[in-house]
């Protein structure tokens, strides 16, 4: 994500941004259900 | 972990005969198949053939002194939304066909992917529509269409709703 800060081209920015998002989502999907529940709990508590 | 306490409690309710069976649905079931998503509650599908079946759970909730906030029962600090099968036959079938999983060693059930998609097609709010395409990628389309055919009616045109989603993928 760091490299996003240095990109000046609009198209390139969104291209990298989308790639990074996909990577991030894949990583989150591979977590155990227990870990996912833990992450969601914070959201319930902070509403 | 608090969610585990809720699961433990629900498992105990099966053992003591307060409920016949249950399965995790909603955003937590979506998170099981995809990534964690924002939610305000835990949706629990309860197997209940009649309102009398659900009455036993209602009595337990009342006797146990759980706080009720709107449509939620607050269990171990978590707002739980119970959906009894007496409301719609789909709920009972979804519970019966739910996937057996373990959370931190605790046995529980989560809606099978195709049943989860149908439940989201039934609710069909913006947040439901947003996650359906990703879930469809992993779904057995034949199985999904069979379920949709059985529970589709004029009020809930599940087939049309699915079609609308598929057109936008």
Residue A4 backbone class (left: φ over 0; alpha: ψ -120 to 50; beta: rest): alpha
**How far off is chain A from B30, nearest CA to CA, in Å?**
10
Total domain count, chain A: 1
Domain annotation covers residue A20: yes
Span B129-163, pLDDT tens digits = 999 999 999 999 999 999 999 999 999 999 999 99
Task: Assess B106–A contact: CB distance below 8 Å, yes or no.
Answer: no
Report the pLDDT value the prediction gives residue B98, as an integer from 0 to 100: 98
Q: Is the ipTM of this complex over 0.90?
A: no
CATH architecture of structural domain B1-111: 2-Layer Sandwich (3.30)
Residue A32 has pLDDT above 90, yes or no: yes
> Do residue A28 and residue B101 have CB atoms under 8 angstroms apart?
no
Show the domain range for A21.
10-45
Span B101-131, pLDDT tens digits = 999 899 999 999 999 999 999 999 999 999 9
Span B48-60, pLDDT tens digits = 999 999 999 999 9
Across all residues in chain B, what is the average pLDDT?
A: 95
Span B2-23, pLDDT tens digits = 688 999 999 999 999 999 999 9
How many residues are present in chain A?
47
Chain A segment 11-30 residues within 8 A of B by beta carbon are: 25, 28-29
Please check whether residue B24 is in contact with residue B112, taking contact to mean a CB–CB distance below 8 angstroms: no
The 3-state secondary structure of A1-47 reads: CHHHHHCCCHHHHHHHHHHHHHHHHHHHHCCCHHHHHHHHHHHHHCC
> Do residue B36 and residue A28 have CB atoms under 8 angstroms apart?
yes
Indicate the domain borders of chain B.
Answer: 1-111, 113-169
């Amino acid at each position: 994500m760091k490299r996003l800060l240095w990109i000046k081209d609009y198209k390139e920015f969104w291209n990298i941004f989308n790639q990074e998002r996909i990577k991030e989502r894949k990583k989150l999907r591979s977590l155990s259900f227990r870990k996912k529940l833990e992450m969601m709990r914070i959201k319930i508590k902070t509403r | 972990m608090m969610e585990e306490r809720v699961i433990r409690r629900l498992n105990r309710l099966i053992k003591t005969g307060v409920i016949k069976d249950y399965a995790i649905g909603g955003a937590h079931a979506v998170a099981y198949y995809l990534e964690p998503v924002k939610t305000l509650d835990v949706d629990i599908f309860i197997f209940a053939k009649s309102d009398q079946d659900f009455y036993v759970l209602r009595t337990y909730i009342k006797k146990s002194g759980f706080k009720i906030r709107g449509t939620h029962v607050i269990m171990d600090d978590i707002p739980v939304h119970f959906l009894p099968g007496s409301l719609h036959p789909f709920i009972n079938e979804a519970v019966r066909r739910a996937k057996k999983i373990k959370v931190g060693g605790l046995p529980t059930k989560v809606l099978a992917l195709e049943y989860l998609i149908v439940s989201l097609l039934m609710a069909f709010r913006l947040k439901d529509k947003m996650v359906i395409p990703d879930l469809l990628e992993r779904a057995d389309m034949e199985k999904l269409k069979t379920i949709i055919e059985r529970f589709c009616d004029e009020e809930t045109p599940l087939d049309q709703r699915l079609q609308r989603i598929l057109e936008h993928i």
